[in-house]
Structure 1
């Protein structure tokens, strides 16, 4: 495949639809997997006799390798070609999914989830970088809006689809489903998406930085999940030392995995800080809500999954409009209102408990939460990419994805500890009910902080909204 000039594809054309479709199939597969697993956790725990800590690792093992390696994945795409690395990651993710479906023990499942995360680290930054590199500048926000909207639908469909498979088949099919999706994604990307890369990307790769990132996140996650065990102080020490070494290595390296200079752009830094807060809340809300509906309210997996359907409807109807709105008025207002609306929805969801009725207690909160999401997703993504130079599209995408996954990772690891859940407590309705409400309040606070941060710091970068020029 020949390399095409950057920015040659227009929205509404066959080539434009192909680029969005390929990016969506790959990244949507990972988003679907991220949410579908939450619905299956209780069933997996019963089938494999897993503890709460092991269930946290089933979720966080994936997020850990994804967040640690996604920057490296973005750099590899910039160096070797976004389509090529995207395809390699998709194949790896698909094969790891098969291993997840065959796992006989919690330990094997956790290991397979770590491998899944490594594959996702290659394909996820490539999906956005393909859009950023292929589309003309004026069409990028709309293309990202279409991608984020349809991808959000994939994520929101996860609980519904997972519930259906668990109810009528077996939890293992939530992983086997990735096989046809992965194959189709590779075919579309190979045949229809123009290859792009960064001609100035360094030939060497920052393996030391990648290792230190793994140690930082891994040590922190272990300490939070396994709190009280003898090795926790060692894990915390390793995490602190690795974090300090990571900053030092990235500053001195001539081929850093994360060039720290990219954070000199205020808009880029602020958008990523807001991403950390919002996605921490998002990951924790989905984790706790599904458990609450199944353990405390008594829903089956399918009914718990269907409960989130309003999120899917909101993303389907409003996500593209969210991208267009940001193109017209700039990202500041949507990125402020989105998290605040989501926070209101989370507070409404604190009413979910014993004796809950769906129409009065679940539907209002999940709908308000869903209305805030499309206000946020497309403007946030477009802002991050527009704030970085085009040749760093893979890096910018990788940074934002890494921050989002790290936020979810740390929230899912920390909140159970902070609200008093340990061992098999998640299976005790009385204990989980109290912990759930505390967790929801914490998530609402994170969302409010994210909205306030956007209002205080976000300005319109070049290529997005009414103002021109880069905000440097």
Structure 2
């Protein structure tokens, strides 16, 4: 009798314990990503309730969102580099702990100042948590097929978490109170922390001897935070404040570039910039996320202020987006990445996004959700779902393992800064169009929709530029990950 049929030799399990642990690790990291990106959008639908309870003015209310975005975008590069030097695991656990504690502080806030300070600290925790996530996910698997699946799951966590935030925010605000959009992070974040502490392998960073460019980190942080702050404040702040903020931003950027060219251990090593597709993938991603942030912002306003949906109804209206993202990211994307070049997938997904934004320019005051919003929303969700994971794969595939945290922080930075800049520009242009139509005697709802339509048209133009950049700059070179000099992939 063959040994394989002996009772003493049972069949091996279909999934090995080590592989099961790897996938559990990826799921924990993706759960953390969902928490972080969820927090960026979950607040939007609750803003009217926060305004009523804490007495925010219309101009100050936007800082409930921006107090989180500014430190988040500004600290990602530094946090990513710290993960490479110290330990990605330790940096991640520290950041998530800070994020959870700050969420409790937000939920207990009884006045405007406390909430805004707590949101700022929450943004710091989010940045430290998120900076190295993509690098950690990519490092879990060596097998290209498993890595493609992991990137697909992470893509769902990123894009799906953003869309899901509006759904969850509407439900929590309707059934509980706005405080619970923050307090819900305590049990969820605590659960992720517990699993992460158990599953994430202990890793050793390069050590402080590898060096950190402190001056470069300060200049990058100042440039990003000041730039985002200035752009977001354009509609409400004096022209002089915008000019000063712009001068500080460009001065810090120039100083950062000068420092990176001369530092012995630059914050972003030149080898990261030279890795195939890093620059192109980050530029394309920035344009995409600028459009995504605008899509979420304008559609919330269209639903609640023009079509008079309540928070619960507006949240439910967004449910098709995360549903499509889940199906595409978790089922279709891994198959596409295993079968087709990532560049081809990007060049397929971007035109779908372009068409989706153009369709959104048809929205009107008298329109309805099923015919003038749902088809466009599904198309955008599909386009983002297949494009973003392919971009991540292209941008991270040739980065050395020792620089994975830095590259991951760079990707997260361009995602946040691209989204914030795109949203600031598009909302400013849309507001100007709205004011112009109102000045000509147009009704308030018609004027608002005119602004949204112009915003969607410009977003479509941004995607058109992304198509050109992707077609001319992205390459299939560097499909295999570069070998690290000292650090081994996490397994």
Give the alignment's TM-score, normalised by structure 1: 0.89
In 1, distance between residues paired with 2:333 and 2:135?
A: 20
Q: Is the 8 A contact 2:272 2:403 kept in 1?
A: no
Of residues 353-362 and 383-392 in structure 1, the stretch that sits farther from structure 2 once superposed is 353-362
Q: Is the 8 A contact 1:133 1:196 kept in 2?
A: no
Q: Is the 8 A contact 2:342 2:390 kept in 1?
A: yes
The answer to whether the aligner puts 1:72 opposite 2:78 as a matched pair is yes
In 2, distance between residues paired with 1:420 and 1:155?
A: 24
* Alpha-carbon shift at residue 404 of structure 1 (Å): 0.5
Q: Is the 8 A contact 1:15 1:193 kept in 2?
A: no
Give the SS at the match of 2:268.
Answer: coil
Give the SS at the match of 2:404.
Answer: helix
Partner of 1:343: 354
List 4+ stretches of structure 1 deviating above 6 A. Answer: 9-12, 422-426
Partner of 1:165: 172
The answer to whether the aligner puts 1:318 opposite 2:334 as a matched pair is no
In 2, distance between residues paired with 1:353 and 1:249?
A: 50
Of residues 183-192 and 209-218 in structure 1, the stretch that sits farther from structure 2 once superposed is 209-218
How many residues align? The count is 459
Partner of 1:256: 266
The answer to whether the aligner puts 1:443 opposite 2:459 as a matched pair is yes
* Alpha-carbon shift at residue 205 of structure 1 (Å): 3.1
Of 346, 367, 391, which aligns to 2:402? 391
* Alpha-carbon shift at residue 431 of structure 1 (Å): 4.0
Partner of 1:114: 120
Q: Is the 8 A contact 1:202 1:255 kept in 2?
A: no
Q: Deviations over 1:148-205 (max 9, x none)?
A: 2244333322111110111122112111111112111111111112233443775543
In 2, distance between residues paired with 1:373 and 1:342?
A: 7
Give the SS at the match of 2:178.
Answer: coil
The answer to whether the aligner puts 1:190 opposite 2:197 as a matched pair is yes
In 2, distance between residues paired with 1:385 and 1:291?
A: 36
Give the SS at the match of 1:231.
Answer: helix
Partner of 2:476: 460
Say what the alpha-carbon RMSD is for the aligned residues.
2.8
Partner of 2:44: 38
Matches within 5 A, 1:194-213: 194-199=201-206, 202-213=209-220
In 2, distance between residues paired with 1:43 and 1:297?
A: 19
Q: Deviations over 1:277-310 (max 9, x none)?
A: 1111111111121122111111111111111212
Q: Is the 8 A contact 2:434 2:447 kept in 1?
A: no
Q: Is the 8 A contact 1:103 1:109 kept in 2?
A: yes
Q: Is the 8 A contact 2:397 2:482 kept in 1?
A: no
Of residues 32-41 and 150-159 in structure 1, the stretch that sits farther from structure 2 once superposed is 150-159
The answer to whether the aligner puts 1:269 opposite 2:286 as a matched pair is no
Q: Is the 8 A contact 2:91 2:128 kept in 1?
A: yes
Query: Unpaired runs of 5+ in structure 2?
Result: 1-14, 439-443, 484-491
Partner of 2:248: 238
Query: Unpaired runs of 5+ in structure 1?
Result: 1-8
The answer to whether the aligner puts 1:413 opposite 2:419 as a matched pair is no
Of residues 121-130 and 21-30 in structure 1, the stretch that sits farther from structure 2 once superposed is 121-130
Of 191, 215, 221, which aligns to 2:222? 215
Change (3 A) 1:49 1:215: same
Partner of 1:156: 163
Partner of 1:361: 372
Of 312, 315, 334, which aligns to 1:305? 315
Matches within 5 A, 1:2-21: 13-21=19-27
Change (3 A) 1:220 1:126: closer
Q: Deviations over 1:381-426 (max 9, x none)?
A: 1221112112211111110100000011112222222223599999
Give the SS at the match of 2:322.
Answer: helix
In 2, distance between residues paired with 1:422 and 1:235?
A: 25
Partner of 2:12: none
Of 282, 286, 301, which aligns to 1:291? 301
* Alpha-carbon shift at residue 53 of structure 1 (Å): 4.0
The answer to whether the aligner puts 1:142 opposite 2:149 as a matched pair is yes
Change (3 A) 1:335 1:100: same
Of 450, 460, 463, which aligns to 1:434? 450
In 1, distance between residues paired with 2:343 and 2:51?
A: 42
Q: Is the 8 A contact 1:323 1:378 kept in 2?
A: no
Q: Deviations over 1:316-373 (max 9, x none)?
A: 1111322331232211121122222122222222333323322112211111111112
